[in-house]
Structure 1
Amino acid sequence: MKIMKLLGSIGLVASAALALSACGNKSNNASNQNAAKEKFPEAVPTKPKKNGGTLKVAIETDTPFKGIFEDTLSNDAIDSTVAQYGDESLFHSDKNYNIDNKGACTFKLNYKAKTITIKIKKGVKWSDGKNVVAKDIEYPYEIMASPKSGSARYTSSIADIKGIAAFRAGKAKTISGIEMPNGANGNTVILHFNQMHPGMNMIGSGYFWKSAAPYHYLKNVPMSKLESSDQVRKSPLFFGPYKISKIVSGQSVTWVPNKYYWKGKPHISKIVESVISTDSAAQAIKSHKFDIIDVPNTQWSQVKNTKGYHFVATIPLSYNYLAFKVGKYDKKTGKNVMNKNSKMNNKALRQAIAYAMNIDQVEKKYTDGLTFRVDTLIPKSFGKYYDSSIKGYNYNLKKANQLLNKAGYKKKGTYRVQPNGKPLTIHLAAMSGSSEQEAIIQNYIQQWKKIGLNVKLTTGRLIEFNSFYDKIENDSPDVDMFLGSWSLAAEPSQADLYGETAPFNYSRFVTKRNTQLINEIDSSKAMNDNYRRKVLYEWQKYMFNEAYVVPTTNSYSITAVNSKLTGYSEKNGTTLGWNDVAFVK
């Protein structure tokens, strides 16, 4: 049931807590996942439904949610999670993540003509009763391409639509490659591309947008004021099963049925989402304060015997990572620019830092076998595209010290100095979260001290979520490395996350080899799946070796669901949605 924000092929995880994972060999990783699969169902039992009732849902975050309810402008998954009861995708996918035409729109791909044809189904309406029309599908591209909107969604992938680059540069008043054959108020949109790419039939493809924006409602709002407007922040429109009736800024949202929903009126009368701190989760579960609430893995042992809930779970397409800042994003050119003289632009230093992390000990202490290490930036969930030969950065202080010694990082007292003899202080940015978070981060700092590295927290403390990403996105000079998380859409293109023009390439690394490999992953030659898999393997090995971004862990995602609910499922490809969730008779 949980949704992920699609940033092209990548979504930004908004979890303010660092997810912890096991660190071990391949067999341990597999056994952890298998044990979890045996332990948890992916859906609650199917039972007769009744109409009515109030659904109470917890939003676990240690900072207020931003409340940006327009997908082209929202950059984090907290807002996505908050908005999921009304914010429905245009498309639906099967269990293999292929678009299957069961959604609000049909989808037809024509590789020869280099087009995608989208048709809105009859009866799809906004929550104010207006029809969803072609202009509503076209308008998000205008928002993304407008420099005035502040959208971070204009990527090299989206730029492959004909005419959108000219529109962005102010050389055209319309996007020539977006055709509305029945007019702006019609039901059809044809996207024309400069070239076609593999995976364009998948829900995770970053080459076209999956959401609509109500043009009739937003058209009079200047692009520069769109993000702060009441239409986006206070009274947004959706075409999903529920609509917002009340917002308490950053704290709670109340939803009621959208009577115009194209699949029919949903079962539940009211949904109330409320923010709670991560530390409060276990107590909230034990006191049955919420009907649906995520279970932090560090608190599983406290709640696992609680009656009155079904505990459902899945292994999400996601990973946590350690990234090193080696440059800046140039907003004028829309490119990441690497600084060859950056403090962290030394491969041996980056590798040593990764080898010094005792993640398996952290997992053993704080989780209950519900986490596992990921070895590459293509998680195992991607199946054939995952390179199992890569072993990842196992805890190895001896190797870490050898790397630093060989690279010229000599010890001068307790700590090492740079090869040029200057003092070396590394500033780490990490998000605040559960009560264990401080101890975990301090543990890593002590591990790095063991190899002679002086690592200090940026600002001297853990940083709340919004401030953390403000620093990361704006390349704050007091961040040398940071711990982050990604939620991934189901398409293994890497262009929108690690490409030269990707705003989400927060490490800001740019190399000829990386650019070449990313381009090859999405090239016409990669229409041959064997070739694409070969290049993806090469990219994984390259990224592992360079260590600009080091994947650390993934966690089994557990949700406590009131045993009086039915219709809730975490299975991919299910046709169930929030309109199907109901209290049992």
Structure 2
Amino acid sequence: MKVFKALGSVGVLTAAALTLAACGNSSSSNNDSGAKEAKKFSDHTKTASVKKGGTLTVAIETDTPFTGIFNEELSDSAIDSSVYQYGSESLFATDDNYKINNKGAATFKLDRKAKTITIEVKKGVKWSDGKQVTAKDVEYAYEIIANKNTKTSRYTDSLQDIVGLSEYHSGKSKTISGIKMPDGENGRKVVIHFKEMRPGMLQSGNGYFWEYAAPYHYLKDVPFSKLQSSDKVRKNPLFYGPYKLQKLVRGQSVTWVPNKYYWKGTPKLSKITASVVSPNSASQAIKSHKFDVIDVVNSQWKQVKNTKNVKFIANIPLSYSYLGFKVGKWDSKAGKNVMNKNAKMNNKSLRQAIAYAMNIDEVEKHYTSGLTFRVNTLIPEQFGKYYNSNIKGYNYNLKKAEKLLDKAGYKKKGKWRVQPNGKPLTIHLAAMSGSSTQEPIIQNYIQQWKKIGLHVVLTTGRLIEFNSFYDKVENDDANVDMFMAGWSLSSEPSPNDLYNEKAPYNFTRFVTKKNSQLLKDIDSTKAFNTSYRVKKFKEWQKYMFDEAYVVPTVNAYSITAVNSKIANYSLKPSASTGLWARVGYTK
């Protein structure tokens, strides 16, 4: 499973885009009319032949400057992914169920018996400087991820299944022994050897191998420790996708022009300009046709729904927002999460009570006409058989919340409850800024918790902008007891890279034997038997629901307003390869 930092407005994210998401795609209505309307929308514009040329303007919806790390191996923000999506392209194409096929920049062959995957980059797949993408470029991406000095959070427990990767990471080996280049570095073939083969490996986004290449010839002179801050990543990146970066106004806008070496032919548009717009200004921008492609902020749906000359397209993305409880720290030396059994939030009854006191259904019907909706488990419904429909989630129940607290010894002393040891209890909540409805929504929850006697205050006293929020959460800031964040997931349902002991993304830092075992079972060779894997997925969801270290809150319809003269824009997984090369203005 992959991540998106903060749940929010993201354009077409590649299938394997585990990124941190931004919160706040949350107008005022007491019904589900928005959801009913969104259900009728297509997930693509018309398919038609388009004319050459023209400039496409795209909105980047954020109330904070984008970071601008233009490299798949180093970036983990959904906002950055949306900014560089015009140049970036996965090695692999997929069908609409995210199964890898051979229609992309590279072919893919899995040999379960030999425990290998063979990747062959197609001839003519070139970087935007005209150089062929080579075997070394595929291998070098793994070096960036596994080298300790890059400090990237992409180095996960799942990738350590590649033979020799952890030895390279620890400095015991100067090369990754399990990645072979049979035709040499300048060849196009790579064979990756694994310790174990995993059931999700035929799906994009499985986390056990990387799905991108990095330009070795261009980046090799930059020390790993300086890669993330280098101009070659921040200002002048190379990609092998349809467009190349022409101009950057740091944190504010990007201009992309065609990559004349693009392997699928010259893109149709002459320019794509993507620029930052505040979520609070999105409805005005849609009504005034300021952008050709702009995401609808769900709380503004009623204001924009009757806009002429736009086509609304929609889907429910693979993502969710959640409430997480800090119960430990990340040990960077050991590369693992360490749980603190005495942590303030390490009480199951307290966590469950907090979840039961949230009136999510009422809030989302009021603010988003049902376009944002409560979710019950950490595996989205789109994953079909892997989704546990028996879990009803933490539906609003104040009486139940109070009973849980009473039984667990959180007694009331005056207005507020105290800890079972009699000490005062103040809970610090970190929450992100976003659209104008974010503040009232968070304040509503604080009032709900007050009703059950819990004293919850905002970390820093206010909502926190995206980058600072994740800085605090990732670095286990002492003033964060619980936090509201989101994931944009990849297209293989395994939750291993988000919630295991060695996952940097396991921001709550919970570690239990039972969780480790269930995650292992989900991705074991035994799980090649689908019914066994389904069973373990459902057990894991039930366990996570019971323990409530991470409580899923909402997902949302993602609606995009597209200029009605634009053709060939699609949200379908199978359309992602070369999408931007096909998009253009109708003749």
With structure 2 as the length reference, what TM-score do the two structures score?
0.96
Tell me how far 1:150 sits from its aligned partner.
Answer: 1.2
Taking the aligned partners of 2:70 and 2:295, their CA distance within structure 1 comes to 22
**In the alignment, which residue of structure 2 is the partner of 1:158?**
159
Tell me how far 1:36 sits from its aligned partner.
Answer: 4.8
Cα deviation, 1:388-422, whole Å, max 9, x if unaligned, reads: 00000000000000000000000001110000000
**Kept in 2: contact 1:10–1:204 (CA 8 A):** yes
**Kept in 2: contact 1:20–1:553 (CA 8 A):** no
Cα deviation, 1:553-583, whole Å, max 9, x if unaligned, reads: 1100000000010000112223661111010
Bigger shift: residues 163-172 or 50-59: 163-172
Question: 1:329-408, aligned counterparts within 5 Å?
Answer: 329-408=330-409
Secondary structure at the aligned position of 1:573 is classed as helix
**In the alignment, which residue of structure 1 is the partner of 2:277?**
276
Secondary structure at the aligned position of 1:148 is classed as helix
Taking the aligned partners of 2:519 and 2:508, their CA distance within structure 1 comes to 16
Q: Does 1:580 align with 2:582?
A: yes
Taking the aligned partners of 1:155 and 1:38, their CA distance within structure 2 comes to 36
**In the alignment, which residue of structure 1 is the partner of 2:107?**
106
**Kept in 2: contact 1:20–1:363 (CA 8 A):** no
**In the alignment, which residue of structure 2 is the partner of 1:504?**
505
Taking the aligned partners of 1:435 and 1:191, their CA distance within structure 2 comes to 48
Taking the aligned partners of 1:493 and 1:80, their CA distance within structure 2 comes to 21
**In the alignment, which residue of structure 1 is the partner of 2:485?**
484
Amino acid at match of 1:530: S
**In the alignment, which residue of structure 2 is the partner of 1:255?**
256
Tell me how far 1:38 sits from its aligned partner.
Answer: 3.7
Taking the aligned partners of 2:271 and 2:41, their CA distance within structure 1 comes to 28
RMSD: 1.8
Taking the aligned partners of 2:13 and 2:46, their CA distance within structure 1 comes to 24
Cα deviation, 1:222-273, whole Å, max 9, x if unaligned, reads: 0110000000000000000000000000000000000000000000000011
Secondary structure at the aligned position of 2:119 is classed as strand
Secondary structure at the aligned position of 2:82 is classed as helix
Relative to 1, partners in 2 of residues 1:563 and 1:516: Cα closer, same or farther, differing over 3 Å?
same
Tell me how far 1:122 sits from its aligned partner.
Answer: 1.2
**Kept in 2: contact 1:499–1:510 (CA 8 A):** yes
**In the alignment, which residue of structure 1 is the partner of 2:143?**
142
**Kept in 2: contact 1:125–1:262 (CA 8 A):** yes
Identity among equivalent pairs (%): 67
Tell me how far 1:112 sits from its aligned partner.
Answer: 0.4
Q: Does 1:530 align with 2:539?
A: no
Cα deviation, 1:94-144, whole Å, max 9, x if unaligned, reads: 011100111100000000000000000111000000110000000011111
Q: Does 1:552 align with 2:553?
A: yes
**Kept in 1: contact 2:38–2:371 (CA 8 A):** no
**Kept in 2: contact 1:500–1:510 (CA 8 A):** yes
Secondary structure at the aligned position of 1:428 is classed as strand
Taking the aligned partners of 2:14 and 2:498, their CA distance within structure 1 comes to 13
Secondary structure at the aligned position of 1:50 is classed as coil
Size of the aligned set, in residue pairs, is 577
Question: 1:272-351, aligned counterparts within 5 Å?
Answer: 272-351=273-352
Tell me how far 1:279 sits from its aligned partner.
Answer: 0.2
Taking the aligned partners of 1:3 and 1:13, their CA distance within structure 2 comes to 15
Taking the aligned partners of 1:75 and 1:10, their CA distance within structure 2 comes to 8
**Kept in 2: contact 1:355–1:396 (CA 8 A):** yes
Secondary structure at the aligned position of 1:447 is classed as helix
Q: Does 1:221 align with 2:222?
A: yes
Taking the aligned partners of 1:12 and 1:426, their CA distance within structure 2 comes to 27
Taking the aligned partners of 2:50 and 2:202, their CA distance within structure 1 comes to 34
Relative to 1, partners in 2 of residues 1:335 and 1:525: Cα closer, same or farther, differing over 3 Å?
same
With structure 1 as the length reference, what TM-score do the two structures score?
0.96
Tell me how far 1:21 sits from its aligned partner.
Answer: 13
Secondary structure at the aligned position of 2:538 is classed as helix
Bigger shift: residues 217-226 or 11-20: 11-20
**Kept in 1: contact 2:12–2:571 (CA 8 A):** no
**In the alignment, which residue of structure 2 is the partner of 1:3?**
12
**In the alignment, which residue of structure 2 is the partner of 1:65?**
66
Amino acid at match of 1:4: L
Taking the aligned partners of 1:450 and 1:10, their CA distance within structure 2 comes to 39
Tell me how far 1:190 sits from its aligned partner.
Answer: 0.4
Tell me how far 1:2 sits from its aligned partner.
Answer: 3.5
**Kept in 2: contact 1:430–1:468 (CA 8 A):** yes
Which of 1, 5, 12 is 2:19 aligned to?
12
Relative to 1, partners in 2 of residues 1:161 and 1:136: Cα closer, same or farther, differing over 3 Å?
same
Tell me how far 1:152 sits from its aligned partner.
Answer: 0.9
Tell me how far 1:169 sits from its aligned partner.
Answer: 1.3
Taking the aligned partners of 1:44 and 1:301, their CA distance within structure 2 comes to 21
Relative to 1, partners in 2 of residues 1:286 and 1:32: Cα closer, same or farther, differing over 3 Å?
closer
Tell me how far 1:156 sits from its aligned partner.
Answer: 1.1
Secondary structure at the aligned position of 1:519 is classed as helix
Bigger shift: residues 141-150 or 9-18: 9-18
Secondary structure at the aligned position of 1:86 is classed as coil
Secondary structure at the aligned position of 1:579 is classed as helix
Tell me how far 1:174 sits from its aligned partner.
Answer: 0.7
Amino acid at match of 1:46: T
**Kept in 2: contact 1:158–1:208 (CA 8 A):** yes
Secondary structure at the aligned position of 1:75 is classed as coil
Taking the aligned partners of 1:20 and 1:425, their CA distance within structure 2 comes to 32
Secondary structure at the aligned position of 2:94 is classed as coil
Taking the aligned partners of 2:247 and 2:96, their CA distance within structure 1 comes to 35
Tell me how far 1:16 sits from its aligned partner.
Answer: 4.4
Tell me how far 1:432 sits from its aligned partner.
Answer: 0.3
Taking the aligned partners of 2:146 and 2:26, their CA distance within structure 1 comes to 34
Q: Which consecutive residues of structure 1, in runs of 5 or more, have no partner in the other structure?
A: none
**Kept in 1: contact 2:158–2:497 (CA 8 A):** yes
Amino acid at match of 1:447: Q
Tell me how far 1:338 sits from its aligned partner.
Answer: 0.3
**Kept in 2: contact 1:20–1:362 (CA 8 A):** no
Taking the aligned partners of 1:157 and 1:136, their CA distance within structure 2 comes to 21
Q: Which consecutive residues of structure 2, in runs of 5 or more, have no partner in the other structure?
A: 1-9
Question: 1:407-486, aligned counterparts within 5 Å?
Answer: 407-486=408-487
Secondary structure at the aligned position of 1:200 is classed as coil
Secondary structure at the aligned position of 1:127 is classed as coil
